[in-house]
Amino acid sequence: MANSVENVYGTALFELCDEQGTLDGTYQELTEVSNILSDPAQAEFMEMLSSPLIPFEDKQKVLSQVFTGRLSDTALDFLCVVTQKGRIRDLPAIAQQFKQMYYDKKNILEVTATTVQPLSESLRKKLVQKLEGVSGKSIILHEKQDKSILGGIVLRYGNTQIDSSVRTKLDKIKAQIDSAIV
C-alpha cells in the first residue's frame, strides 16, 4: 500500500504544506472539505465532480465558485488536481492520510475511550494526563458509551486496544471455569 492513492496524494500535499508552513490551515481545510463532500446530502455534487462526462473546465469553475474565499489557494488547487485526476472520491482517504502525517509531525495521539457512562470532567482530565505521560504525546480523547461492557474502560489508539472492561474480565473468568470443568 506504499503507493496507494491516499498515500501518494496525502504525502504530496503534506510535503508541500510543510515546506510552505501552511500545515495547520490546510489540515483544517482538508478536514472540513472532506466532511462536506462525504455528507450524503452532497451526493449529487460528488456525482458531478466524479463524472467523466462533464469536462474538467466546468468542474473547475464550479469548485472555484463554491470554494474561492473559503479555502486557501493551495487547498483549492489540490481539490482541482484531485478532481482532474478522477480521484475526488478518494478525498476522505487522502484526508485521513494527511491527518495521520499531521498528527505524527505535531506529536498528537487520538484515543477513543469506551465506557458505560460519560466520564466526569475530573476523570477525563486525569485520563488525558496519564495518557500524555505514558505516550509523551498530546492526546485527543474521543468518548463512546457502550453499556455492554458493564463497567471499566476500553482504550483504543492506532492498532492498540487496552481492555479493562468488566465484560472482558467476566469472560476470562468464565473461560477459566469452563477449562477447569472440562
Asked if residue 120 and residue 66 are part of one domain, the reply reads no
Asked if residue 152 and residue 119 are part of one domain, the reply reads yes
Domains contained in the chain, number: 2
Asked if residue 73 and residue 121 are part of one domain, the reply reads no
Does 107 score more than 80 pLDDT? Answer: yes
Domain closes at, from 82, 104, 126: 104
Asked if residue 10 and residue 100 are part of one domain, the reply reads yes
Asked if residue 99 and residue 112 are part of one domain, the reply reads no
**Is the pTM for the entire model greater than 0.95?**
no
Could you tell me the CATH number of the domain that includes residue 74?
Answer: 1.10.520.20
Half-sphere exposure of 55 (CA within 13 A, CB side): 3
Domain closes at, from 54, 69, 104: 104
Q: Which domain holds residue 67?
A: 5-104
Confidence band for 181, pLDDT divided at 50, 70 and 90: confident
Asked if residue 112 and residue 100 are part of one domain, the reply reads no
Element (H, E) at 161: strand 160-165
Q: What pLDDT, in 10s, does the model give residues 119-170?
A: 999 999 999 999 999 999 999 999 999 999 999 999 999 889 999 999 888 8
All three cell numbers of 123? 476523570
